[in-house]
Amino acid sequence: MKQFQHDDILSSEKQFRINMINGLLGYKTLNLLGTTNSNRLTNLCVISSAFHLGANPPLIGLIMRPQRDHNDTLKNIIATGEYTLNNVLPEFYKEAHQTSAAYPSEVSEFELCGFSEHYISGFKAPFVSQSTIRIGLELREIVDMKINGTTLVVGEVVQILAEDEIIGDDGFINHITAGTVTVSGLDAYFLPEPLARLSYAKPDLPVQEIKEEK
């Protein structure tokens, strides 16, 4: 078995450490983050740092790397107060990955990487037409993480657009039907296969599988 202690981690080669630490936690949420500036120049980038912060109010957090003054996405979020998260499908995960390239500010990754913008009334930020689950968020809080210079962006879910068959009667989001892709580390993409849904856990009851409803 391999063991890396603190000193081993800190002294490891830079790219090795980046790969290892990024991959430690397992499969991550994968979304395309869509924004626009006040001149309607759009921006799109793939992110794997979005996380559930709470259901009431419905809040999502995401981490942006330390480049606040140069980051078009963060500037757009702050300028317009709105952004979108859109799931990634097997048909376009390579194009989604390509949005992480360092394109100049004056061009839109939507056009350069082959995505279409979808707009809804009363909401400025662009959704991704090709996605099957699309979330519109309003900025609620920016937290500067002093420990490493990253930025925690907290937004409230104000729009959900999804194909009809994806949201079940109990609110369950079916990511198999949606075709959602996941990622590990910086660059490895995966399509999950279901094991089971499990019943709400109680101390005195064995866990049971929830059978699929039609």
In terms of CB distance, is 4 or 116 closer to its own copies?
A: 4
Q: How far is the first Cα of the chain from the last one, in angstroms, to the nearest whole number? A: 45
In terms of CB distance, is 27 or 80 closer to its own copies?
A: 27
Distance of CA 6 to the CA centre of its chain: 29
- 90: preceding bond cis by omega (within 30 degrees): no
Determine the 3-state secondary structure of 135 from DSSP.
strand
In terms of CB distance, is 79 or 157 closer to its own copies?
A: 157
In terms of CB distance, is 40 or 172 closer to its own copies?
A: 172
Residues 6 or more apart in contact with residue 208 via CB below 8 angstroms: 198, 199
Q: How far is the CB of 63 from its own copies (least distance, A)?
A: 6
Q: How far is the CB of 150 from its own copies (least distance, A)?
A: 6
Q: How far is the CB of 209 from its own copies (least distance, A)?
A: 8
Q: What is the H or E stretch that residue 9 is in?
A: helix 6-11
Residues 6 or more apart in contact with residue 128 via CB below 8 angstroms: 32, 34, 44, 84, 86, 110, 115, 116, 117, 118, 134
Output the CA angle 84-135-156, nearest 5 degrees. 85
In terms of CB distance, is 36 or 133 closer to its own copies?
A: 133
Q: How far is the CB of 93 from its own copies (least distance, A)?
A: 6
Q: How far is the CB of 16 from its own copies (least distance, A)?
A: 4
Contact 44, 101 (CB under 8 A): no
